A and B are shown apart, each in its own frame.
Chain A
Amino acid sequence: GQQLNQSPQSMFIQEGEDVSMNCTSSSIFNTWLWYKQDPGEGPVLLIALYKAGELTSNGRLTAQFGTTRKDSFLNISASIPSDVGIYFCAGQRRPGNTGKLIFGQGTTLQVKP
């Protein structure tokens, strides 16, 4: 099945730095979601986006639903060590409300104190 193109694949940054990652697709999506997964645990939903152009924040995290409906971005400001983990984007293609999500391959984030 199709997977989203998520980049970068991994990041190694200094504590306090800002982080940006993105997800792209050749298809139009009607929903974008961002999850964080700690090793050996299930993904935790961070942000859900439902409208093109939507910009939503959750603490130091900000995500945007691209205006073309084919991409989404996640930014983390002032990173801290507990931000370490794997970040996944996921999307649902139109038509909507099937529940069938497509996932990116993940961005592994490491933060150096």
Chain B
Amino acid sequence: DGGITQSPKYLFRKEGQNVTLSCEQNLNHDAMYWYRQDPGQGLRLIYYSQIVNDFQKGDIAEGYSVSREKKESFPLTVTSAQKNPTAFYLCASSTWTSKETQYFGPGTRLLVL
């Protein structure tokens, strides 16, 4: 089945630690996105990539980093510089011609110990 997978479902981070969230898609989509969701709020864009080896900052990129070495994969690293990382992280993808029609993965919940 085609779709977007995110792993792990739950992730725990210790103080000063970097953690990486995985996002893989087999939809042959060109564009991929990372969003952060906090309780009672809508989604906020962290980073997005329209093509392999290229990505742009979203509205809340500070403390995060990404890479796009393969079309299928768009991992997100939450660095120690992100002081409030506890949130639900969602990955999405879309085609090149219809970037606004985005399909989401199941999400990763990040908790700080």
| Interface of A toward B, CB cutoff 8 Å | 1, 3-4, 6, 30-31, 33, 35, 40-45, 48, 88, 90, 92, 96-101, 103-106
Interface string of B36-59 (1 = CB under 8 A from A): 000011111100101000000011
Residue from A42, A48, A92 within 8 A of B106 (CB atoms): A42
- Residue B84 interfacial (CB < 8 Å): no
A-B contacts, 6 of them at CB < 8 A, read A33-B101, A42-B104, A88-B43, A97-B100, A99-B48, A103-B44
Q: Closest Cβ of chain B: how far from A27's Cβ, in Å? A: 15
| A92: chain B residues within 8 A (beta carbon) | 99-100
Q: Considering the complex of A and B, which 4 residue pairs feature the smallest CB-CB distances, nearest first?
A: A99-B99, A103-B42, A42-B104, A1-B59
Residues of A within 8 A of B101 (CB): 31, 33, 45, 48
A-B contact count (CB 8 A): 74
- A99 and B109 in contact (CB under 8 A), knowing A45-B102, A105-B42? no
B88 vs chain A, min Cβ distance (A): 8
* A42/B94 in contact, CB under 8 A: no
* Closest chain B residue to A106, Cβ basis: B42
Residue B90 CB within 8 A of the other chain:
yes
Cα A44 to Cα B4 with chains together (Å) = 12
> What residues of chain A lie closer than 8 Å to B50, measured between beta carbons?
99
Contact status B90-A42, CB under 8 Å: yes
- Across the interface, do A98 and B99 meet the contact criterion of CB distance under 8 Å? yes
